[in-house]
Structure 1
Amino acid sequence: MNARTPSDRERAGGERTVARHGWAQALVTVLGGLLAMAVVAVLGLWAAGADGLPDGGFAPVVAATLVAAVGGTLELSGSAGDLADTQAGLTVIPLSVTLTGALVFAWGFLRPLRHRAVAGAAELAGWAARVAALWLLALIGLTLFARHTFDIPLGNDELAELGDLFGASPRIGFTTDVPLSVFVGMVWLAGVLVIALLVSRGAPLPGGLLRFQESVRPAAYAMVALLLACVVIGLVVALVVAAVKGHARETFAVILLGLPNLMWLALTIGLGATWNGRVEGPFGLPMPHVLDEVLRTPDISELNLRTLSEQDGRVWWLLVVDVVLLLAAAFVLAARSPARVRAWQHAVQMAVALALTVFMICLLGRLSAHYGLSVLGIGDLGGSLAGELFLRPRLWGAVGLAVPWGLVTGFLGALAARHVRRRGEVDAAGPG
């Protein structure tokens, strides 16, 4: 007796059921992502000492951190009376918060799609649109709430008296560029959802895109696994350092706000990439002390394996770690690909995927911050009232280095995976 198959009416009823509950599932996804990001941001800012901000500034700073985590733009402004001027700027993405939100959003988006082989383009678009609509409302609320103004202490009694005399008590505030931040936040969500579909082998795709999954999905999965492995290694090292050397609160601030910033930077440096940067004034980097030593010079410094190893020879271990991680990623790529894919094709896929990954790291890992106070347009009042910090990659050099790394490790990974049973292989002996 043939098994009963669902009729068109039953299938249509099932689709209506999914659609009827789609908004509730979308709400859970968005609230879950926001809550996870907020928890990480709150704990990280608390560990960094931001809980002591005056005038109820902690909550707006948390909101600003969430906006920055999805690529939003923060605008800093200052005032110091009629005779003084303040300048400030900040560009940084707290990637620990970003990564947390991306993982939760991806899980929530994929969960209703599990156990499906194929999904129509309209169905996927409708499900993504529900998540995006609620995320849009959340983004607007965050960007409007992320604004505050603080008084800046002048550092000592003489400067404070001078500030009172000239009416130059400085204040600095921050707001968000609402239209730009909302637009970039929506692009961030779209990127997260697309990557989630590419990475998950069990997520359904429209029939017209199925032919791309064998070439794209293994590479996307391997790159996400590579990035997450870097973060896990960094987490283990940070916890060991916190246990052995102390400074637990500062270490947890780095873990909860900027661990991927540090580890993905280290990944590119291990490949041979160079970053340019400079630290001036009281700024401190949420990174190992060796980076601060290299960057705290009068001129723009180069940050790479050579300059770092001059301060600490152990930096060369980054090269060894990169070799191991890239070979492992290439092996995963080959093992998840069909058996008919040739070694040179794996090499090309790995090179393209790694180049795109390094490109993304270079875009997300940039940071800059500066502030200063001047009176009557003459200089800065004291070193404690001025500072600059920036770090930016030599983008195309880093991307160019990723290509040969990907070709070599991709080919070696394919050779290592030859004896792994993969899709498309059959037993030589045939059915027995």
Structure 2
Amino acid sequence: MLAGLVAMGVVAALGLWAAGAADLPDNAFPRVVVATVVTAVGGALEMSGDAGELAATDAGLTVMPLSVTLTGALVIARGFLRPLRHRTVIGAPELAGWAGRIAVLWLLALVGTAFAARQTFEVPLGEGLLNDLGDLFGVTPRVGFTADVPLTVLFGLLWLAGVLVLALLASRRAPLPGGLPRLRTSVRPPAQAMVALLLAYVVVGVVVALVTAGTRGHPADTFAVLLLGLPNLAWPALTIGLGATWNGRVEGPFGLPMPQVLDEVLRTPDVSTVNVGTLAERDGRMWWLLVAAAVLVLAAGFLMVSRSPARAPAWLHAVRMAVALALTVLVVGLVGRISAHYGLSVLGIGDLGGGLSGRVFLRPRLWGAVGLALLWGLVAGFLGALLARWVGERSRSGRAGS
């Protein structure tokens, strides 16, 4: 468990360093790393501003750095499953006790991390009228963040519970309590398929990012995205490939690291629509998102069927795949949304909506995405069953012929 927290801190530190956060004033880099870990496990940060009586500030941030989240989940899951991999049977009390010990250590780490995640920065006013007013009236705007300890502990424990349950369900070797035999055949294969699908999208994203860094330059920006938010781009790309729509906007001088085509779509006067069509209008290669979704979702369906009992009918595979994919898209929609804003005004100049202000948000049309995932899952599960049956018949005929 502690190894997972350390791994998250290392990945967050490297990503923030690549993004240039090591140059933050007031020796703030370590606390920003801690705050990144807090948000990666679902913790809440409260933004605050102080600019005196002559100025006003406003800030807010809601985003999970999913590269850090994924790193911690993989390391913690491995540590949780390692003592169980050579066991054939385990009782529910023993499993609950083992998970409870991990939860106690995690709770202590969460509390310490949450109390350490607090920092205040001076905000430069830049050049021009705002800077002159600041010098004249002695205005030094400051903005800071503080972790909400109770919410961080609550969501952090829920995150850990989700990681441990998913690890147990997606593992091929870990034993399940004797009273849960149906989970082996009805839940474990779809869970394994969905984990494989999400990891496949991350691997594809890594390859694309490395190629982009090698051909277009700016390697530091690329590695910042890789180490902080690659799943924030790769997993929404899965939903967009399924036909889902996201809404968002980027305004002001600030933004988040993202592909140029996405930034162009989001920088419009009104709320933008992000789907395969709007992305392909600016870059025709975006149609490959549809192809990637078709290939990888079908592969996930085949994987699920191949690890399920052979006697199950095709329609049952289709239903299980539909439910699993819909739940996966629901989770991606909830954890993948982004919202960030900052505003500053001095004597009313700036008005928290211009000058040094900025806003970024991206959120899915969630239930439409879930509905599309249900349809895709039904088709992929049914076709996966037919493909697995055909492969099995070819394999049997080949052995008979030899």
Same fold (TM over 0.5): yes
- The aligned runs of 1:96-245 (5 Å cut-off) are 96-156=67-127, 158-245=129-216
* Deviation, structure 1 residue 300: 0.6
- Could you say which residue in structure 2 is the equivalent of 1:60? 31
CA deviations on 1:281-334 (whole Å, 9 max, x unpaired) are 012232111111111111111111111111111111100010000110000000
Q: Secondary structure at the match of 2:77?
A: helix
The aligned counterpart of 2:312 is 341
2:199, 2:66 → 1: CA distance? 12
Cross-structure match for 1:23: none
How much is the aligned-residue C-alpha RMSD, in angstroms?
1.9
Aligned to 2:242: 271
Distance 1:176 1:312 in 2: 40
The Cα of 1:374 is off from its aligned counterpart by 1.9
Map 1:239-258 → 2, pairs under 5 A: 239-258=210-229
1:299-378 to 2 correspondence within 5 Å? 299-377=270-348
Q: Which residue identity is paired with 2:140? A: S
Corresponding position: 1:39 with 2:35: no
Indicate the residue corresponding to 2:41 in structure 1: 70
What are the superposed Cα offsets for residues 122-171 of structure 1, whole Å, 9 maximum, x if unpaired? 00000001110000000001100000000000011543231132232210
* CA distance in 2: counterparts of 1:384 and 1:166, whole angstroms: 19
Per the normalisation by structure 1, the TM-score is 0.89
Equivalent residue in structure 1 for 2:389, among 403, 418, 421: 418
Cα pair 2:28 2:119 within 8 Å, conserved: yes
In structure 2, relative to structure 1, the CA distance for the partners of 1:251 and 1:124 (3 Å cut) is same
Opposite residue 86 of structure 1, the aligned amino acid is: T
TM superposition outliers: structure 1 runs of 4+ over 6 Å: none
The answer as to whether partners of 2:130 and 2:349 remain within 8 angstroms in 1 is no
Q: What's the offset of the Cα at 1:82? A: 1.0
Q: Are the aligned partners of 2:58 and 2:352 in contact in 1 as well (CA < 8 Å)?
A: no
Tell me the distance in 1 between the aligned counterparts of 2:355 and 2:79.
46
Does structure 1 conserve the Cα–Cα contact (< 8 Å) formed by 2:338 and 2:361? yes
**TM-score when normalising by structure 2:** 0.96
The answer to whether residue 217 in structure 2 is matched with residue 259 in structure 1 is no
Asked if structure 2 preserves the Cα contact closer than 8 Å seen for 1:78 and 1:87, the reply is: yes
What residue number does 1:19 align with?
Answer: none
Which amino acid in structure 1 is aligned with residue 389 of structure 2?
Answer: R
- SS at 1:118 equivalent: coil
CA contact (8 A) 1:140 1:178 kept: yes
Q: Supply the AA of the counterpart residue of 1:144.
A: F
Specify the alignment match of 2:358 in structure 1. 387
5+ unaligned residues in a row in structure 1: which ranges?
A: 1-29
- Conserved 8 A contact 1:160-1:169: no
CA deviations on 1:89-129 (whole Å, 9 max, x unpaired) are 00000000000000000000000011212211100000001
Question: Aligned partners of 2:59, 2:68: CA distance in 1, in Å?
Answer: 23
Question: Highest Rg: 1 or 2?
Answer: 1
Q: Answer with 407-416 or 151-160: which moved more.
A: 151-160
Q: 1:389 & 1:280 partners in 2: Cα distance?
A: 7
Task: Say if 1:334 and 1:414, in contact at 8 Å, map to a contact too.
Answer: yes
Aligned-pair CA distance for 1:201: 1.9
After TM superposition, give the deviation of residue 420 of structure 1 in Å: 4.9
The alpha-carbon deviation at position 382 of structure 1 amounts to 8.5
Where 2:361 maps in the other structure, the secondary structure is strand
CA distance in 2, matches of 1:330, 1:139: 37
Residue 377 of structure 1: how far off its partner (Å): 4.5
Q: What corresponds to 1:292 in structure 2?
A: 263
- 5+ residue gaps, structure 2, are none
Q: Are 2:251 and 2:360, in contact at CA under 8 Å, matched by a contact in 1?
A: yes
Structure 1 SS opposite 2:368: helix
1:380, distance to aligned residue in structure 2 (A) = 2.7
C-alpha deviations, 1:51-106, integer Å up to 9, x for none? 00011100000000000000000111001111111000000000000000000000
Q: Give secondary structure in 2 for the equivalent of 1:324.
A: helix
- Report SS of the residue matched to 1:116: coil
Contact 2:350 2:356 in 1 (8 A): no
The percent identity for this pair of structures is 71
Range moving further from structure 2, 382-391 or 172-181: 382-391
Aligned residues: 398
Is the partner of 1:86 in helix, strand or coil?
A: strand
